[in-house]
A and B are shown apart, each in its own frame.
Chain A
């Protein structure tokens, strides 16, 4: 039986730099030069102040779990083999939140506010930013 391919990000003009960074095991987010707030996901203008003056900065890669869920039913057939697995919202030190998986840990011990750091996981041809407890 053929393995069902995992859905991989379809790169666009907003996200190209971000995913290329992941390929080099670097986590880039945006920062607005007008209001200095950080931005994720990447976009062409700042959602905080509306200015176009956004640049890329490398994130520390550390943060905390804002919330999470342990999937007992798969979010699509490609994830069935991974069950149970953790999907989380990680709040980076820079203040932005991103969806990710928490890996290489005891699923039952995962909790809100847990400290985590980024690890880049090869999925197909791409590297996805996942997190693991520190």
Chain B
């Protein structure tokens, strides 16, 4: 069963940040409401049209359970026919796209709203401490792994050991991504950096330097997905779901089968097969960049290059503006924003690229884009391939 062309994205919305923070002390519920309103306005729809609600987040009213879609449904005044709080980390929203398209195809809803918000930077709620040492965390937290950076660092060390990948290779990604951020007025970090700057930045957990790590910011995003029938009446031209796949291979890093291959190998394969396109058909990619190593492993796992050749693939600023492999065109989690679960912003950027709304950073003739989300400690992945008419 395929969901190819079963649904289209017709609306996206987000909010402005100042130095990585929301303005005027807005709350996590307020920013989600603003992003939702903007996405619906973008589509030419209103909240009364929404009959499918998809919400995941790290926030919640303290107490038993967090019920994200239920809480936001109440706040927004939406009583959906179809509800989904799938929480698989930063890739949740790419999974939501697949679930929403399937629900739309099955006739269970027509207008799906996908939502995310975080005020982690304003709240100063993020630290490197692991989870409380209970259940499966009892075998990890007592050893003091900086979380989650340490898990990604172990993946990087293993890749370096197996394939001779270097810190310079990883730094290429950070530098290229910053160049895209310099073309995006909404990006948090826009000053020029060099490979040397990345290598000279403080070591967080070997071999990852500060500039190999994503930002810690606030942020909110919303995406509106509709049936082909409803897409005809929307303000913006449709961006079609051509293919989607999702997978998870482990939860804790000690259980990852191979630290150099993510489950994007499976989720990506399914997305490509569903879309019926090949790697050469992809005009640009938005790859989850929690850390530089996340990108390198994902490019290999998706099959853009062979295993172990990620370092060569990104050399000489190939993924930067003007390079032949446009990647993370908003400046990514490394330089644009990273509010904890970044996946929804990859979708929003891909939609804007396909609509030709990206100004200075616009990828010329962008017709097909690939979005990859990665969640947890390289635990979950979801891939969406999007295209325009």
Contacts and interface: CB of A to CB of B under 8 A. Distances in A.
A56 interface: no
A85 B136 CA distance: 22
B161 interface: yes
Contacts of A59: none
A100 B254 CA distance: 10
B347 interface: no
Given A12-B134, A73-B205, A89 B144 contact: no
A75 B147 contact: yes
A10 interface: yes
B134 to A, nearest CB: 4
Contacts of A120: none
A112 B162 CA distance: 9
Contact of A76 (B136, B139, B144): B144
A99 B253 contact: yes
B129 A76 contact: yes
A17 interface: no
Contact of B132 (A10, A74, A123): A10
Interface string A59-74: 0000000111111111
A17 B129 CA distance: 27
A69 B206 contact: yes
A8 interface: yes
Given A69-B153, A112-B161, A74 B146 contact: yes
Interface in B147-171: 147, 149-150, 153-155, 157-158, 161
A113 B160 CA distance: 13
B154 A68 contact: yes
Given A10-B132, A99-B253, A100-B143, A87 B157 contact: no
Given A75-B145, A85-B144, A99-B145, A12 B139 contact: no
Interface size class on chain B is: 35 or more
Interface size class on chain A is: 35 or more
B42 interface: no
Nearest to B207: A69
Residue of B134, B143, B161 contacting most chain A CB atoms (<10 Å): B143
Contact of B157 (A6, A98, A99, A112): A112
B205 A71 contact: yes
A11 interface: yes
B192 interface: no
B139 A99 contact: yes
A86 B144 CA distance: 9
A50 B181 CA distance: 48
Contacts of B26: none
Interface in A33-74: 40-41, 66-74
A105 interface: no
Contact of A74 (B144, B161, B206, B259): B144
> Would you list the 5 A-B pairs with minimal beta carbon distance, nearest first?
A76-B129, A69-B153, A9-B138, A79-B144, A112-B161
Interface of A: 6-12, 15, 40-41, 66-79, 82, 85, 87-89, 97-101, 111-113, 123, 128
Given A15-B139, A69-B157, A73-B205, 12 more contacts: A7-B132, A10-B138, A40-B139, A41-B139, A69-B154, A69-B207, A71-B144, A75-B150, A76-B144, A99-B143, A111-B161, A113-B161
